[in-house]
A = this chain, B = another copy of it.
């Protein structure tokens, strides 16, 4: 299949709750960028984080191999520095080949889950 998607994606909403009530990784509060690379070349993705009152941080880097999806938790980004909790941020993802990005948050601060998801905003 030909490459699907765009090379630049924006997620204007970002917030990792500092608390979780669940047990185990599946129930931990998290923000995720779900990235699909349906093409035949590996996608090298660079993420820049924007904040309210400090300069942007990045690039964070991860690879989505050809014909694979990576559901990258922002919680797990640590280089150049961990993503702060309980802090508003936004992110821009730039890939060297077209990909599709969908944004999801699971919030488990309360005993019951809350979920949100939206396709990110794209341009090429």
Contacts and interface: CB of A to CB of B under 8 A. Distances in A.
B52 A71 contact: yes
A36 to B, nearest CB: 4
Given A36-B10, A68-B50, A113 B114 contact: yes
Interface in A107-124: 107, 109-123
B112 A26 contact: no
A52 B32 CA distance: 14
A81 interface: no
A70 B12 CA distance: 9
A20 interface: no
Contacts of A70: 52
A8 to B, nearest CB: 7
5 contacts: A5-B123, A15-B71, A90-B100, A105-B117, A109-B113
Interface of A: 1, 4-5, 8, 10-15, 17, 26-27, 32, 34-36, 38, 48, 50-53, 55-56, 67-71, 86, 88-90, 92, 100-107, 109-123
